[in-house]
Structure 1
Amino acid sequence: MTKAVDVVTDSAESVEGKALARGGRFEFLDALRGLAALAVVIGHCGERLWPEYARFSSSYFGAGMFGVFVFFIVSGFIIPASLERGRSLGAFWVGRFFRLFPLFWGCLIAAMILHSVGRFSLQPGFLADPAWHILTNATMAQFFLGAPNTQVIGAAWTLAYELAFYLFVSLLFLGGLNRRSVPLAVLAIGSIVAALFLPVAMVNGPESSLASRLMVVVATVAIAVFFARRAVERRSAVAAVLLASIAVPLVLNQPGPSAYSATIFATMFVGTVLYRMTAGEISSRLGWTIFGFAACVILGFKFVVEQPHLDPATGAWIPWWKEAVTMVCAYLLFAAALLLRRYSFPRPLLFLGRISFSLYLMHALVLGAIDPWKTSVLGISAAWLTWGTWVIGSIALATLTYHTIEKPFHNLGRRLMDKMDARARPVATPVV
């Protein structure tokens, strides 16, 4: 769920002036990341240990869903700013690659090693064709390339949406539409309803057909041509065609409910609107109106469409408002942090924010590798001992991987970006 954090220049300078920053990072964003990662870890640990909590999570409030939607809003807020800070599109993707992929690949390799010694379980869908699914998982777009039961790291499904968002933001940047955040957000919010009529897994799903694949081709060509024609130079036009050819088929092949995917992208674009508002590019009234409109559409959509039903996994009765309330709570937390952005946040929370990507990935390895306690100790139940071991172990492992993998590769990416900027910068000639 992730997570560019450099303080940006240009219009983002006004954001820096209105938000407390420490070491080139906005404190309120780090605090949000820390809370989001902790919510995911605590939710996943609790659901494994206590059936009562699993039923509560299914029926009333899902801490994991809450955390990932906070991450989505944060990404929507900071990623467009990161792209627009004056560096090239190539430099942006170099930074994203070194920010995400080395740690993600390290997590995949660790999962394979743990599985070989019987300490990590792989899903049946993955084991049916492991060579192919290793490749699809390595792209980080695995959620769009196959069924969800082919993922090595279950929580990594959110990274596929992050990657797709980067692709679409890059397309908008090439087409000169990246600052049209308000109409883009309105369009994305409206697509929540329109997605009801969109089939799932239109490329290689069990219900895909020649007609659905033809729809994907037509949509891809139309979007590629539209952005290629808006590009200012031939190289940008070629890049737009390439990005559209990747992004559109991926997103139209998503295996889950299309309206849920549309809600995720709408949430990201709402984050971008809040960034425009904070940077002074749009009024506060307009920014908060879009924010409230998105929350109301989510609540109204779930009220009309979602039917109460029984969860077969937990046996819990799920009301229509469970997902909507969880998502809107993520919105409200982001809004509260944004309003408090001029203030300092607790150091432990900022530390969790710095290691949030490592924590998000590594907790899956900890849950798979460390067996639950069997007996109580000093009056502490085995379940609580296990919970504490998993949470503390996840934070400890994430701290290690942050300092040994994530941060060094991030710094390497920044050095490469600086070199790319230096080459692109024109050399001044002396005046005779």
Structure 2
Amino acid sequence: MTVDGVAAASVAPVERVARARGGRFEFLDALRGLAALAVVIQHCSERLWPEYFRFSQAHFGLGEFGVFVFFLVSGFIIPASLERGRSLGAFWVGRFFRLYPLYWAGLIAALILHSIHRYGLPTGFLAHPEREFLSNLTMVHFFIGGPDVQIIGASWSLSYELAFYLFLSLLLIARLNRRSVPLAVLAIFLIVPGALLPAGLVTGGLSNPGSRAIVLVATILVAAVFACLAADRRMAIAAIVLAFITVPLVLNQPGPSVLTFGYFATMFVGTVLYRITSGEISAGRGWAVFGFAVCVIFGISLFVEDAADPLTGVWVTWLKQPTTIIAAYLFFAAALLLRRHTFPRPLLFLGRISYSLYLIHALILDGPRWTVSLLGIPAAWLTLFTWVAAAVTIASLTYRFIEKPCHNLGHRMIVKIDARNRS
């Protein structure tokens, strides 16, 4: 999910066509708020109503919808943050203080709650807790150990966010970061051959000579290309290091490769939409890429065989993925077209606390439940309202006392880095 609150003043071309409040673009905050709320409702509801869980697995995944909206938002705003004229080091300082302090606090809170039997940890983590805790600290744990070792289940998407930042850093070093249309088209095209790659090529397949060859050749090729395109020798070394981190991580994704390439393609499509609003590409060209992505998502789904869901046993047809993903694309597009309008303040508030809400809500799902109805409201609905209210309340506090102060600290450090670079 995206957590950026890029100031409106930092991307002047967009500011002229998007309403901003307090230095933040309203339509992006509205998208973040609704996406976070969709994920929260999904996770709460599937705990309370098994029939809803079966529906979401077979027909429309509200939580998956929210994650794809987040990925589009990331693709839209992160390049603006990276290209605002600051150094690559300053960008990563900002990312660190945006992401890691709250994330680490969430990990510690989860372990404390587990110790008092108020939070369940996956069996993969419990089998090797020390090792997997260190893995979780990196935030690329999903690529290292997969879903069975995640302390906070919703944090898997952060691994993709971090990998996207690494890719953008490589593109910036090679001065390819503004080639958004060909990059997005390439990413969309790679969804199909990417589906042929097996999962876990590093941790699960390096005993196989073929897997070793794929990882090694891909890493060397990417490192060589970006090193050759780098502006100076120091950047070439940085490109090589980044490539040797990024490529093995992404090739080690634990799930279907088609989804991994689909996530990255979605973020690059978000970048293309940003280029439209900044005036760097024509609207026709940008929306053509958007339409191409939608068509590819729909087309690939036609070749997906209907099968029983392993968790619920319900029959999942080919329509489930395009219904969910294309809905997220269209929802983002609608908000983008409404970017000149104002949005309700409660929604903007949810957008500001969306990172806290996305992470922290998972910690309350093993909490107390209502067992009796009240004023005619069934116990399950009372529990849903209580969990959502608790998640929003706790997220407000973590935003106020952890997320925002750490972001301010990171901003002060960036100012010092910028001043040192100018001197």
TM bucket, shorter chain? over 0.9
| Partners of 2:402 and 2:374 in 1: CA distance | 35
| Partners of 1:76 and 1:29 in 2: CA distance | 12
| Partners of 2:22 and 2:192 in 1: CA distance | 42
Aligned ranges 1:71-86 → 2 under 5 Å: 71-86=70-85
Q: Is the 8 A contact 1:8 1:85 kept in 2?
A: no
- Report the counterpart of residue 383 of structure 2 in structure 1: 386
The one-letter code sitting in structure 1 at the alignment partner of 2:401 is T
| Partners of 1:30 and 1:78 in 2: CA distance | 11
Residue 13 (structure 1) shift: 1.0
| Partners of 2:309 and 2:207 in 1: CA distance | 27
Q: Is the 8 A contact 1:202 1:208 kept in 2?
A: no
Q: Is the 8 A contact 1:174 1:240 kept in 2?
A: yes
Tell me which of 320, 340, 343 is aligned to 2:341: 343
Q: Report the count of equivalent residues.
A: 423
Aligned ranges 1:217-232 → 2 under 5 Å: 217-232=216-231
Q: Do residues 403 (structure 1) and 400 (structure 2) align?
A: yes
Aligned ranges 1:23-422 → 2 under 5 Å: 23-205=22-204, 209-304=208-303, 306-368=304-366, 370-422=367-419
Helix, strand or coil at the partner of 1:410: helix
The one-letter code sitting in structure 1 at the alignment partner of 2:159 is A
| Partners of 1:315 and 1:199 in 2: CA distance | 24
| Partners of 1:312 and 1:181 in 2: CA distance | 38
| Partners of 2:422 and 2:9 in 1: CA distance | 17
Residue 316 (structure 1) shift: 1.8
Residue 206 (structure 1) shift: 5.9
| Partners of 2:207 and 2:336 in 1: CA distance | 42
- Report the counterpart of residue 7 of structure 1 in structure 2: 7
| Partners of 1:147 and 1:423 in 2: CA distance | 40
Alpha-carbon distance change, 228 to 8 in structure 1, aligned in 2, over 3 angstroms: farther
Q: Which 4+ runs in 1 deviate beyond 6 A? A: none
Helix, strand or coil at the partner of 1:290: helix
Residue 3 (structure 1) shift: 2.2
CA shift digits 1:266-316 (9 cap, x unpaired) = 000000000011100000000100001000100000112x11111232232
Q: Gapped runs of 5+ residues in structure 2?
A: none
Q: TM-score, normalised by structure 2?
A: 0.98
| Partners of 1:127 and 1:260 in 2: CA distance | 27
Percent of paired sites with the same residue: 63
Residue 378 (structure 1) shift: 2.4
Q: Gapped runs of 5+ residues in structure 1?
A: 427-432
Q: Is the 8 A contact 1:227 1:241 kept in 2?
A: yes
Residue 8 (structure 1) shift: 5.8
Residue 9 (structure 1) shift: 6.0
CA shift digits 1:195-238 (9 cap, x unpaired) = 12212110011685232023211211111111111111111111
| Partners of 1:147 and 1:14 in 2: CA distance | 40
Alpha-carbon distance change, 311 to 272 in structure 1, aligned in 2, over 3 angstroms: same
Q: Is the 8 A contact 1:201 1:208 kept in 2?
A: no
Helix, strand or coil at the partner of 1:294: helix
The one-letter code sitting in structure 2 at the alignment partner of 1:307 is E
Q: Is the 8 A contact 1:34 1:349 kept in 2?
A: yes
| Partners of 2:102 and 2:23 in 1: CA distance | 21
| Partners of 1:326 and 1:166 in 2: CA distance | 25
Residue 149 (structure 1) shift: 0.6
Helix, strand or coil at the partner of 1:197: coil
- Report the counterpart of residue 430 of structure 1 in structure 2: none
Helix, strand or coil at the partner of 1:343: coil
CA shift digits 1:29-84 (9 cap, x unpaired) = 00000000000001111111012211211121110000000000000000111000
| Partners of 1:213 and 1:355 in 2: CA distance | 42
- Report the counterpart of residue 429 of structure 1 in structure 2: none
Q: Is the 8 A contact 2:44 2:365 kept in 1?
A: yes
| Partners of 2:157 and 2:146 in 1: CA distance | 14
The one-letter code sitting in structure 1 at the alignment partner of 2:25 is F
| Partners of 2:127 and 2:316 in 1: CA distance | 32
| Partners of 2:310 and 2:198 in 1: CA distance | 24
| Partners of 1:186 and 1:59 in 2: CA distance | 29
Helix, strand or coil at the partner of 1:211: helix
The one-letter code sitting in structure 2 at the alignment partner of 1:108 is L
| Partners of 1:31 and 1:147 in 2: CA distance | 31
Q: CA RMSD in A?
A: 1.1
CA shift digits 1:124-183 (9 cap, x unpaired) = 000010000000000000000013111101110000000000000000000000000000
Q: TM-score, normalised by structure 1?
A: 0.96
Q: Is the 8 A contact 1:8 1:81 kept in 2?
A: no
The one-letter code sitting in structure 2 at the alignment partner of 1:272 is T
Q: Is the 8 A contact 1:8 1:82 kept in 2?
A: no
